Amino acid sequence: MFVRTDDKITSSQAVVFLTNTVLGAGILTMPRGITQAMKTPDSWLTILVGGMVVMLVILLMVKLGQQFPGKTVFQYSAIIAGRIPGGLLSLLLIGYFISVAGFEIRSLAEVTLFFLLEGTPMWAIVIPFIWAGAYLVSGGINSIARVYQIVFPITIFVLLLSFAVSFRLFDIDNLRPVLGSGLPPVMKGLKSSILVYAGCEVVLTLVAFMQYPQQAVKAMLGGIAIPFGLYLLTVVFVVGGLSIDSVMTSAWPTIDLIRSFEVTGFFVERLEFPLMVVWLMQMFCNFCSFFFQSSLGLSQVFKLPFPAVLLGMVPVIYLAAMVPKSLEDVFGLGDEIGKMSLVLFMLIPVMLSLVWLVRKKGRIAHG
């Protein structure tokens, strides 16, 4: 049984799929990463600029995907670049998806270990999550999208509620001076701000599964606009509530912000617990997206049955998750994945689009 792209999802499901793929462990650590790179309170400006760059590249990815209806990047890269170069590009992308899947499930396990199940062996947390992910992914993209539609509104509600009640800690002076050191720090933090959108490469396969691919531009830009807005809010509230010095020294600055107050008389006085539970679900969704993408890629490149590939991927993802030895190694792996994402993110859609344009013009000229 091969995964066919006639297993369609609606435009609203595509929006939620992209949003849930991009929103992962990054939101818990992202304020620290960007603030450390910049060392100024202007991280929100960097998020704005990075978001605009990402939207332009996503537009290019969608336009490229629309040229090949019902085909994913693993299929049309061979049509554009030739069988061997296209296959190598696809393998590069699959390797990246496996790395991110391993990183996300390990981050999920680290957060669970740190806040909920202290002293539990790492493998005892990682293995059940991988098997649960395999079960969800085996149902295909439609099953995954339906689960995302349940998790998505809960995530947004809890996150926005957490920020709303943390407003009492907010101090506008923590975000000043604006551009006190000029534009160089903003440009310096740009790489870190683009890295938090790692995962939007799924657009390269998502368009093929859309019921109405002509609505892909609106859906994909909408799908990235939601994390864009949430990242902006997160940076503003976390830096505004904790100050840049505290953010730079915190492992999980977003959680530290929520832990720094109590809501007396509220049905949950400590909001970090609902946030943690919801974010574990969100990270699991994020992991499932990459699990699906990597399995889909191997299935299409080597023309293998999807269920067999999925089962074979379980030990591979487990090994990828267990490579980092400590939390510092996990953060280091996250940085490396971010760099890989930056290269693939810019390289694949831009390069394939250029080759496709040249070949198309060549055909017109010869026609």
Tens-digit pLDDT profile for residues 276-291? 788 888 889 989 999 9
Q: pLDDT over 70 for what percent of the chain?
A: 92
User: What are the tokens at 269?
Assistant: 């006085």
For residues 290-296, average pLDDT: 93
Q: Please, what CATH class does the domain formed by 11-353 belong to?
A: mainly alpha
Q: What is the pLDDT of residue 261?
A: 65
Q: What is the pLDDT of residue 367?
A: 53
Which of residues 189 and 56 earns the better pLDDT score?
A: 56
Report which residue type is found at 253: P
Phi, psi (degrees; rounded to nearest 5) at 293: -60, -45
Q: What is the pLDDT of residue 168?
A: 80
Say whether pLDDT at 362 is over 70: no
Q: What is the pLDDT of residue 291?
A: 94
- The whole-angstrom distance between residue 154's C-alpha and the CA centroid of its chain comes to 18
For residues 68-91, average pLDDT: 87
For residues 354-367, average pLDDT: 69
Highest mean pLDDT among 77-91, 149-163, 289-303: 289-303
Q: What is the pLDDT of residue 339?
A: 75
Q: What is the pLDDT of residue 313?
A: 94
Say whether pLDDT at 268 is over 60: no
Q: What is the pLDDT of residue 363?
A: 62
For residues 48-52, average pLDDT: 86
Q: Which band of pLDDT confidence, cut at 50, 70 and 90, is reported for residue 10?
A: very high
Q: What is the pLDDT of residue 366?
A: 55
Say whether pLDDT at 337 is over 80: no
Q: Which band of pLDDT confidence, cut at 50, 70 and 90, is reported for residue 114?
A: confident
Q: Is 36 exposed, middle or buried (0-12, 13-18, 19+ CB in 10 A)?
A: middle
Chain-wide mean pLDDT for the chain? Answer: 83
Among 353, 211, 120, which residue's Cα sits nearest to residue 112?
Answer: 120
Q: What is the pLDDT of residue 145?
A: 93
Which of residues 337 and 316 earns the better pLDDT score?
A: 316
Q: pTM for this one?
A: 0.87
Q: pLDDT (tens digit, 9 = 90+) per residue, 82-100?
A: 888 888 989 988 998 998 8
Cβ-Cβ contacts under 8 Å for 224 (sequence gap 6 or more): 18, 19, 22, 51, 54, 55, 58, 197, 200
Q: What is the pLDDT of residue 292?
A: 94
Q: pLDDT over 90 for what percent of the chain?
A: 25
Q: pLDDT (tens digit, 9 = 90+) per residue, 211-249?
A: 988 999 999 999 999 989 998 888 888 888 888 888 888
Q: What is the pLDDT of residue 263?
A: 57
Q: What is the pLDDT of residue 266?
A: 54
Q: Are 43 and 186 in contact (CB under 8 A)?
A: no
Please state at what angle helix 272-301 crosses helix 83-115, rounded to 10 degrees: 160
Other C-beta atoms lying within 10 Å of the C-beta of residue 123: 12
Highest mean pLDDT among 233-242, 247-256, 267-276: 233-242
Residue 51 CB-half CA count within 13 A: 19
Q: What is the pLDDT of residue 365?
A: 53
